[in-house]
Amino acid sequence: MQNLMLLVQDPAAWVALVTLVVMEIVLGIDNLIFISILTNKLPPENREKARKIGIGLALVMRLGLLGTVAWIVQLTTPVFELFGQGFSWKDIILIAGGLFLVWKATKEIHHSVDPVDHKEDMVSGKVATSFASAIGQILLLDLVFSIDSIITAVGMTPHVPIMVIAVIAAVTVMLVAATPLANFIERNPTIVMLALAFLLMIGTTLIAEGMGFHVPKGYVYAAMAFSALVEVLNMFSRNARKRSQGGSGTDTVH
């Protein structure tokens, strides 16, 4: 209790908390995009439940991992060497998660580009996904993103209470934003392809990180933000053309 009061009175602790909350929210974008795309393939009545379960599992997993910080830190210790490059359990997990994301995004892009090859898997124009399969895939990516997030947090502050508050705040934001984001993606088909491209890039980045090639996340998120801005401008342009065509049609009738 005394240590907690000292943290509350420490300005550096507040700065670390704000920085960590922002970082956790940004890192959570990857997870949120994946959850949104995956749950949109479920029947409408199951989507909200799957999102809540997926994000709830992310919270439980991250809080559980915070209780084993000493063990998490040890995951960065190399366990074997290949071609002169040391690989730790963290590297192995990042590579496995990256390969899964690349495979999943490529598969979904293929379904979107050439749905004729998958008629037997289609339900109302969407590739069918079972509830259990969706939760399992969300859980797998939760593990990858959680370990990466916790290791990053440990590098920023040694205080577990600050990490706990940051994780809870970030997951709360994810919970609030999940349904609006999923609905937005559902209403705009072109956004789906953009989001899948994001997942492909994130998966490639995870593989590179696991192989020992550091990719500054600022570059990745800047590229994502720029692409999203271009798509937003395209949406405004399409809506403006539709309004213009509608107005022209009305004028012709009169």
Out of 21-30, 148-157, 222-231, least confident range = 148-157
208, pLDDT greater than 70: yes
Residues 187 and 183: their CA atoms lie apart, in Å, by 6
pLDDT, average across residues 154-163: 72
Q: Tell me what pLDDT residue 151 has.
A: 73
Contacts of 31 by beta carbon, 8 Å cutoff, 6+ apart: 58, 141, 142, 145, 174
Query: pLDDT band at 222, cuts 50/70/90?
Result: confident
Q: Give the pLDDT band of residue 126 (cuts 50, 70, 90).
A: very low
Q: Is the pTM of this model over 0.75?
A: no
What is the Cα–Cα distance from 49 to 55, expressed in whole angstroms?
10
Residues 20-48: pLDDT tens digits? 777 777 777 778 888 888 888 888 888 88
Looking at the chain, the number of H-run helices and the number of E-run strands are 9, 4
Please write the tens of the pLDDT for every residue from 103-122.
Answer: 888 888 887 776 555 444 43
**How far is residue 141's CA from residue 60's CA, in Å, rounded to a whole number?**
14
In sequence order, what are the residues at sequence separation of 6 or more whose Cβ sits closer than 8 angstroms to the Cβ of residue 22?
Answer: none
pLDDT top residue among 233 and 22? 233
